[in-house]
Structure 1
Amino acid sequence: MANPARPADRTAAPRGSGAFTATEHRLGNGLRLVLSEDHLTPVASVCLWYDVGSRHERPGRTGLAHLFEHLMFQGSASIPGNGHFELVQGAGGSLNGTTSFERTNYFETMPAHQLELALWLEADRMGSLLAALDQQSLDNQRDVVKNERRQRYDNQPYGTAFEKLVAMAFPEGHPYHHMPIGSMDDLDAASLADVQAFFRTYYAPNNAVLTVVGDIDPAQTVAWVEKYFGTIPGTSENATKPAPADGTGLPPVMGGQLRRVVHEDVPSRALMAAYRLPVDGTREADAADIALTVLGAGESSRLHNRLVRRDRLAVVAGFGMMRLAGAPSVGWMDAKTSGDARIEDIEAAVDEELARLAADGPTAEEMERAQAQIEREWFDRLDTAHGKADELARYATLFGDPQLATTAVDRLLDITAEEVRAITAERLRPDNRAVLVYEPTGAESAAGTEDDATEDEDR
């Protein structure tokens, strides 16, 4: 994977340059350590990214990466039960973990004088969780994850919409075809041997990036990391983790609109769509981000002004982007109808706005507003020690270079209006989208809710 394009040389200082730096270290067992000092507040953030996500799962065992995120909080050989939570929160810190298609991360933000505790806790479960992992812990967290799926996906209006769109945008067998939450059947099928093998394969220091940001003493931090992580063995050469299936080989354009009508008990009709966009880490991905901001981010966007304010066809209308480094990124559109508005009218208006941007590009005012909005969001993330630690870990894990986090906003600010117009014309078009149309059924007819799937053209 090529590194993100660096900004062109300029005589003036970049407008968005971040005022933070990072240093890198490598332990003998392969662990990558990235440090960044920030003495503004007396806190320190520890962020540990493992290079494993749902794209690494094999068929029939979806959801393992997310399930293991939960298991990592169930105790280790040294810290039983909820001890990890209790120690961090008792020391005045906060913690969590998340799973995505491309990685699993764990993080703590602590009072600066409690940094050593956070490092020890992360090293302890990396090195000794397997000794404490048993059938009871697996069964307990399997039930927790299944309930999470019910609450966040299956029992929410439109809750499985993005899951359906992803499955349409990435064909069967593609490593990004399924969501990190996994399926109920696969969660039920996961055995203790499965999760033990998963840990041995992916939870090793040479498959991880550790970032520490905040009010730290770098020399002391390196010494603590060496002390607690340095003795954990890396994955041996004979047991190297399998590479995820290549997800970048798809055609840039789907080659035909995929369409599915969903009959569910939802509040209103809805039109949703997913577009294949350029792989993250490229100028084209940054241009697509700006295009979607112009089209659908906030009340000043084109879709909100057209569909909500002017035509009053929708109560919600917007675009978002899921950046992916190992597969085409996904641009998703969401419009919920107002009253008895017709889906056909909303779709026609959306296509008109896309065609207009593809033909004429954004105005100077739109470019300035979109770039300022993205720049503000970026600096909001960098305003906390955890935000900096997370971005450094992301660029180190997915692109091999944490230093790219310090210049990411400059690359976005370098994008031109012509690049935005060109990527809109190339990717935001009817033959490059998966479409969901939601038709409300009402509670009394919820039993007859089979989906209708159609394909406008051959892929």
Structure 2
Amino acid sequence: MKLSKIVLAMGLVAGISACSQQPPASQLPQGVKLITEHTQQKDGVSVPYKKYQLDNGLTVVVHEDHSDPLVHVDVTYHVGSAREELGKSGFAHFFEHMMFQGSENVGDEEHFRIVTEAGGTLNGTTNSDRTNYFQTVPSNQLEKMLWLEADRMGFLLDAVTEQKFEVQRETVKNERGQRVDNRPYGRLGERVSQALYPVGHPYSWPVIGYMDDLNRANVNDVKAFFLRWYGPNNATVTIGGAVTANEVLPLVEQYFGSIPRGPDVTAAPKQPVSLDSDRYISMEDNVHLPLIYMSYPTVYLRHEDEAALDVLAEILGGGKNSIFYKNLVKTQIAVQANVNHPCAELACTFNLLALPHPASGKNLADIEALIRQSLTEFEQRGVNDDDLLKVKAQMEANTIYGLQSVSGKVSQLAINETLTGNPDNLQNDLNRVNKVSKEDVMRVYNTYLKGKGSVVMSVVPRGKLDLIAAADNFSPQVMDFGGPSQTSAEDLQVRRATDDFDRSVEPQAGVNPAVTVPAYWQSSLDNGIKVLGAASDETPTTAMLLKLNSGLYYESPDKTGLSSMLTAMLNEDTTNFTGEEIALELEKLGSYISISSSDEHIQLYVLSLSKNLDKTIDLLMEKMLRPAFKEDDFNRLKQQRLQGIQQSEKNAGYLASNAFRKLMYGDSILGQPGGGTLASVTNLSLEDVKAYYQSHFKPDGGQLIVVSDLAKTKLQQAIAPLTGFTGTAPAVNVQVPADSSRGSVIYLVHKDDSPQSEIRIGKRSLSEDITGEYFKTGLANFTIGGNFNSRINLNLREDKGYTYGARTGFSADGYTGVFVASAAVRADATAASVKEFIDELNRFSAEGVTDPELAFMRRALNQRDALKYETPNAKLGFLAQILQHDLAPTFVDERNAIIANISKQQINQLAQQHFDPKEMVIVVVGDSAVLRPELEALGYPVEDLSL
């Protein structure tokens, strides 16, 4: 398993628990048979489970984990974009959308409402090989989740209407616009796949599909796709959490057992490819920096050479000790350079990427030559001991870090069962990497890269084709698939289930499980750092968050970005070690140290195996107390920051957020982006950073939150070196300027050729409190724009198809706050979307909530606590709030009481006071020449705004 996969697995794998006794096969529900039972292994890493199969072919995997009162339900169908046909791309992803639109016994938009009301979270995802649907809920909600999933597996098609089809087709177009067409380099992946794979290869088209294909389709095409691939015999239901197999199996058999089998599904053949020569392709894009991307075809998922290729990718381009970093980034030839080896079920690719630094004077042909020279250097250098040690250490650590959340563990079991037939592959993956030798790495380099053909993609700013690596020598075949589809309802072979119970009756949940606030202890260090610690014994790990009183608010407007630049410098050389040496030691420990800044804090985050905590803290202290502050490091980081800002200015969302912040707070420090502006970062000097470090990087008043399996006394010994960090920083002096924003004015920010527009509508609002008016406005916001089933999201996304998602919310700190409504919308629906936003806000301000909406909010928010404290990182965030605001743990009960007792009248008063759009500014980012007349027609003054 590659490191990129393992990082993903940190959120995809969770705690190990003992299995209960399995009943004899004769006691299993009729129609259910036991396939295998996998118990906790004494040696190595394992996730115990029991695997069953129903008579209709449905695979069921159950994992018991009683550490938290939660259950996670995942339904994975072995179908992704690779199962589509030429001319019918995007169907798998499209059907993911349709699966949330209601089924025979679940009303339109009810799936989201029911899960949200249960205090849970949910989503669905599609990739080339599978589609999955999942929810995490309090354990008393299990039966309801199985009822929901079974209803859309077996009783969906009659609820798929022409209107729903058309709305979701527009939603998918919006998603593509937001994630692909309106994003810098967004089309890179699909262009490379076109060139890498032959016509008709399952990976030759993008997962989201081509819009021409979806435009040709009709509702019967997607129904046919469902009937072909969404049978129970092509699905795995994986359930994990505070449940037993004895509880789960009767419910699974009841709700899924009568669903008829679908057509037989055979395994798709592995389809790795090779290229006889390099294929050069290029594209102009609305970007600041050119980019070169080289993609070599390799093997397929779990091929015997996959692990060695993963190690090779790490050596070439994984972090500060990689050859790419040394040759391209450290030398300031490139702003960014990396290598990865993503693998899918049928084929894998080995990808090399670099963005040249403008000051280097290099075009993409020059960068390609340097990349090839770096490959030759590796060939001559070979593999050293540390290369293997760090990869294997990171693999072990990341696997252990992953054993924390039930949702992650279930997802891991589900994908492994779907793609390999073996739900628990963790130790197998560790073994594969641990067996990789130096000779293996050199062999795969010679086999798959040396002298082999690749796709070489150049992406350049518009009008800069002179920068490409080489002239295009490949063009994709143009396909003509004719006009609109003629698939009719008569072509469908519909399957129907027969039941002996009433599926229209929604199951009732049992008593809410008891949820307790994590026990914690408090102390302080002699240097003024307050400490709050909590135990988490599910994994032998320690997570720490140190918050120092510094950040944007401690800067001056002409020097914004200073604290952010300091944190970047703290990740470079120290007086004793190079940044590369420290990075290598952390990698060999399997530890992570991240240093970042925010408005009010510099934050130092540490994640370590507890056995390596002392060594990790030694490295943390080296970074904190002995930075070298070298001129070369500063110049490189400063140039990277300047290029990053210019690149961000090609992103409509970035422009919209900065414009809104500027309108709220003007030229004050509150109106500045945390990373700085082109002008402010240009003004920064190394002496500024040194002076800021000396005056502001101090512990007094700091906060340390620690979550660990170590006993309190051992943990206190481990953090004792922090007392060597001393001093007091100047107090913050935040001057909140008077609100000079003008309501009911549209401020237009130009972004040329924008297929989507970004909208921000809002005003200044309350500063943060824990149980006061600010908290209560959040309760009011839940109805208008604070959840998927909110009025605004249902209007703009589900009813109109204008956007992929619309939302509203309050954000604040101790000094000030704002309310903002936001969405990325179709460019041709910009004015209409602004009108819908305003109309919804007007209605909510004038009329408030309905009784059903108030009841929905109460049920949804009062049951969420079970999800708040599950993982060490979740505990860190929760405990940080307690420490920062000096809260007693009873604040949770106080908030729950407010949610339970706040009246409709109170909510309506808040709505009237805080949601009146006449007080709000309107920011629109898009093509101003096109948008101006449409926006002026709304009757608002329209003013150009430059940033």
Taking structure 2 as the reference length, the TM-score comes to 0.44
Structure 1 residues 15 and 178 mapped into 2: Cα distance closer, same or farther (>3 Å)? farther
Instruction: Give how far 1:123 is off.
Output: 0.9
Structure 1 residues 22 and 243 mapped into 2: Cα distance closer, same or farther (>3 Å)? closer
> Counterpart of 1:396?
417
1:343-399 Cα distance to aligned partner (Å, 9 max, x none): 233222222222333454321111111222344444444432122212212221112
Retained in 2: the 8 A contact 1:88–1:95? yes
Q: Does 1:254 align with 2:281?
A: no
Largest Rg, 1 or 2: 2
Find the aligned partners of 2:129 and 2:52 in 1 and give their Cα distance.
23
Amino acid at match of 2:126: T
Structure 1 window deviating more from structure 2 (368-377 vs 180-189): it is 368-377
Q: Does 1:265 align with 2:265?
A: no
> Counterpart of 2:52?
25
Matches within 5 A, 1:404-415: 404-415=425-436
Find the aligned partners of 2:380 and 2:146 in 1 and give their Cα distance.
53
Amino acid at match of 2:111: H
> Counterpart of 2:96?
69
Q: Does 1:434 align with 2:455?
A: yes
**Counterpart of 1:432 in 2: which secondary structure?**
coil
Amino acid at match of 1:91: A
Instruction: Give how far 1:15 is off.
Output: 12
**Counterpart of 2:302 in 1: which secondary structure?**
coil
Amino acid at match of 2:374: E
> Counterpart of 1:308?
329
Structure 1 residues 416 and 40 mapped into 2: Cα distance closer, same or farther (>3 Å)? farther
Retained in 2: the 8 A contact 1:62–1:180? yes
Find the aligned partners of 1:97 and 1:399 in 2 and give their Cα distance.
21
Find the aligned partners of 1:278 and 1:16 in 2 and give their Cα distance.
30
Find the aligned partners of 2:288 and 2:399 in 1 and give their Cα distance.
34
**Counterpart of 2:305 in 1: which secondary structure?**
helix
1:314-338 Cα distance to aligned partner (Å, 9 max, x none): 1111112221122x20122221111
Amino acid at match of 1:221: V
Percentage of identical aligned residues: 34
Matches within 5 A, 1:267-416: 267-309=288-330, 311-326=331-346, 328-339=347-358, 340-416=361-437
**Counterpart of 2:367 in 1: which secondary structure?**
helix
Retained in 2: the 8 A contact 1:277–1:329? yes
- The one of 150, 155, 166 equivalent to 1:128 is 155
Find the aligned partners of 1:54 and 1:362 in 2 and give their Cα distance.
37
> Counterpart of 1:5?
none
Find the aligned partners of 2:56 and 2:216 in 1 and give their Cα distance.
33
Instruction: Give how far 1:403 is off.
Output: 3.3
Retained in 2: the 8 A contact 1:45–1:109? yes
Retained in 2: the 8 A contact 1:17–1:407? no
Structure 1 residues 382 and 198 mapped into 2: Cα distance closer, same or farther (>3 Å)? farther
What residue ranges of structure 1 are gaps of 5+ in the alignment?
Answer: 1-13
Q: Does 1:38 align with 2:65?
A: yes
Q: CA RMSD in A?
A: 2.4
Find the aligned partners of 1:122 and 1:362 in 2 and give their Cα distance.
49
Find the aligned partners of 2:233 and 2:284 in 1 and give their Cα distance.
47
Structure 1 residues 375 and 330 mapped into 2: Cα distance closer, same or farther (>3 Å)? farther
Instruction: Give how far 1:241 is off.
Output: 4.8
1:210-263 Cα distance to aligned partner (Å, 9 max, x none): 11122221211112111111111111xxx435775x45263xx31211111222
Q: Does 1:219 align with 2:239?
A: no
Instruction: Give how far 1:98 is off.
Output: 0.7
Structure 1 residues 380 and 74 mapped into 2: Cα distance closer, same or farther (>3 Å)? farther
Q: Does 1:419 align with 2:440?
A: yes
1:286-331 Cα distance to aligned partner (Å, 9 max, x none): 111111122222333221222111x2111111112221122x2012
Structure 1 residues 242 and 395 mapped into 2: Cα distance closer, same or farther (>3 Å)? closer
> Counterpart of 1:229?
256
Instruction: Give how far 1:125 is off.
Output: 0.8
Find the aligned partners of 2:43 and 2:203 in 1 and give their Cα distance.
33
Retained in 2: the 8 A contact 1:16–1:375? no
> Counterpart of 1:240?
264
- The one of 196, 200, 205 equivalent to 2:227 is 200
Instruction: Give how far 1:430 is off.
Output: 5.1
Find the aligned partners of 1:414 and 1:170 in 2 and give their Cα distance.
31
Structure 1 residues 293 and 149 mapped into 2: Cα distance closer, same or farther (>3 Å)? same
Retained in 2: the 8 A contact 1:175–1:247? no
Structure 1 residues 15 and 232 mapped into 2: Cα distance closer, same or farther (>3 Å)? closer
Structure 1 residues 329 and 416 mapped into 2: Cα distance closer, same or farther (>3 Å)? same
> Counterpart of 1:140?
167
Taking structure 1 as the reference length, the TM-score comes to 0.88
**Counterpart of 1:33 in 2: which secondary structure?**
strand
Retained in 1: the 8 A contact 2:46–2:424? no
What residue ranges of structure 2 are gaps of 5+ in the alignment?
Answer: 1-40, 475-947
1:114-169 Cα distance to aligned partner (Å, 9 max, x none): 22221121111111111211111110110000111111111211110111111111
Find the aligned partners of 1:366 and 1:101 in 2 and give their Cα distance.
31
1:152-197 Cα distance to aligned partner (Å, 9 max, x none): 1112111101111111111112121101111010011111110111
1:422-449 Cα distance to aligned partner (Å, 9 max, x none): 112211235331011122226xx99xx9
Retained in 2: the 8 A contact 1:313–1:338? yes
> Counterpart of 2:110?
83
Amino acid at match of 1:153: V
Amino acid at match of 1:205: P
Find the aligned partners of 2:391 and 2:424 in 1 and give their Cα distance.
24
Structure 1 residues 40 and 421 mapped into 2: Cα distance closer, same or farther (>3 Å)? farther
Amino acid at match of 2:119: G
Retained in 1: the 8 A contact 2:305–2:444? yes
Count how many residue pairs are aligned between Structure 1 and Structure 2.
430
Amino acid at match of 2:271: T
**Counterpart of 1:283 in 2: which secondary structure?**
coil
> Counterpart of 1:8?
none
Instruction: Give how far 1:56 is off.
Output: 0.9
Find the aligned partners of 2:212 and 2:471 in 1 and give their Cα distance.
23
Amino acid at match of 1:338: H
Structure 1 residues 432 and 180 mapped into 2: Cα distance closer, same or farther (>3 Å)? same
Find the aligned partners of 2:385 and 2:240 in 1 and give their Cα distance.
37
Structure 1 residues 363 and 382 mapped into 2: Cα distance closer, same or farther (>3 Å)? same
**Counterpart of 1:300 in 2: which secondary structure?**
coil
Amino acid at match of 1:98: T
> Counterpart of 1:9?
none
Structure 1 residues 409 and 249 mapped into 2: Cα distance closer, same or farther (>3 Å)? closer
Find the aligned partners of 2:136 and 2:42 in 1 and give their Cα distance.
29
